[in-house]
Amino acid sequence: MESKQQVVIAGAGPVGSLMALYLAQRDIPVLLLEKEPQLPVDLRASTFHPPSLEMIADLGFGVIDDMLEKGLVADRYQYRDRRSDEVASFDMSLLADSTRFPFRLQLEQYEFTRIVNERLAELPCVEVRFGHEVHGFSQTEDHVDIEVSTSTGSERIRADFLVSAEGARSQIRKLAGIDYLGFTYDEKFLVVSTSFPFEDVFDDLSWVNYVSDPEEWCVILRTEKLWRVLFPTTPENADDEAYLLSNDFIQERLHHLWDKEGDYDIGHRTLYNVNQRVAETYYVGRVLLAGDACHINNPLGGMGMNGGLHDGNNLAAKLVSILRDGEAHIPLFDQYNRQRRDLAVRFVQEHTIANKKLMEATDTDTQVARQKMLMETAADPVKAKAFLLERAMINCVRDSEAVA
């Protein structure tokens, strides 16, 4: 067995990598394990909300500077109604007195993890091992023994604490016997990327757009390289992945959005299950969960990864208090549960479910009433700011920090 580690984090995605950087900055030794042979490059999250940008900026190491250089600043976003051609545009500069970053930053998740892992490689008290997956553990009152699968066999590692940032299919959560409470929607979401210049065919298009339609809603957002479009599928064809990912189906959906001549060029195409789930607890003993390992929601509003980053920042601060300052771990982990789990149930789940219901209504009366409400809210600076404080997760983080 290796010499004892202080913190082992499973999962080198955005949450695990951010936690490792936070701890290493404060001289807490960290071992970061990633089951894949290298950092994945795929279409996942792409929106960073103001509180996340503030947390990342506070870490230092120039991470926020690289993000701002690579990413796309979205200082407004829109709800567009194709039936009436009405556009409710929300100006995020209204948040200038509430945050240093009154905008969304559009940056692919994999670009963020790449930036953070470049910094981790420079730090002496953090080690990143790829091709390593936790497949078992046991714990006592003062340590966790971790069983790890590698490309050459298996290893046993002893640590003070084990954190799962493995994502929604967390093996550690399952091994800990923690239920993942909630439900899975019948339909799936299809996400495709294209270089087609939607900004040239839709008047005054923002970088983030929620589009309602008499037949089918969608989300159109720009990342630093491509446009990304999210479509719902129907429960009737949800299991036919070959059809949903076929060029014919994707071209039909995109041509319904804008009927251009010829085919759209397609970059990535990804089909997602749509879940609303929260773990029954965020820790058992010395084993903890963060990010999608403990909560997952539909992607409307971009709250999933951001909520995970907020988990990671909160938990890392508590681990520093325990390992450097000698505080007892159980009271702090109980507080982590109260601050992050209760909020995930009350805020993130509530808002993402509401966002989905807001978009998917198809009857005329509901669509008209929805767009009227959004137009009136966007036109009133007081109401618009209140709306943005919620949707930008500023209130969410404030509420979390206020929980004792």
- Within a domain: 50: yes
Total number of domains constituting the chain: 1
* pLDDT surpassing 70 at residue 221: yes
Residue 99 covered by a domain: no
- Do the domain assignments include residue 235? no
The DSSP-derived string for 301-319 is: TS-HHHHHHHHHHHHHHHH
Least confident of 162-171, 201-210, 268-277, 287-296: 268-277
- On the question of pLDDT at 302 being above 80, the answer is no
d(CA 393, CA 307): 8
Whether residue 317 is contained in a domain is answered as: yes
pLDDT digits (tens, 9 = 90+) for 141-175: 999 999 999 988 999 999 999 999 999 999 999 99
Asked whether residue 241 is assigned to any structural domain, the reply reads no
Classify residue 48: in a domain, yes or no. yes
Assess whether pLDDT exceeds 80 at residue 32.
Answer: yes
More confident of the two residues 172 and 233:
172
Per-residue pLDDT at 118: 96
For residues 155 and 225, which has the higher predicted lDDT (pLDDT)?
155
**pTM score, whole prediction:** 0.93
Contact 249, 243 (CB under 8 A): yes
| Per-residue pLDDT, 201 | 95
pLDDT band (50, 70, 90) for residue 351: low
Is 197 inside any structural domain? no
Nearest to 129 by CA among 211, 9, 24, 217: 9
Which residues share a beta bridge with 104?
74
Q: How buried is 78 (Cβ within 10 angstroms: 0-12 exposed, 13-18 middle, 19+ buried)?
A: buried
Q: Is residue 53 part of a domain?
A: yes
CA dihedral 295, 72, 122, 32 (to 10 degrees): 10
Q: Residue 18 belongs to a domain with what CATH number?
A: 3.50.50.60
* Residue range(s) defining the domain that contains residue 149: 5-72+106-182+275-359
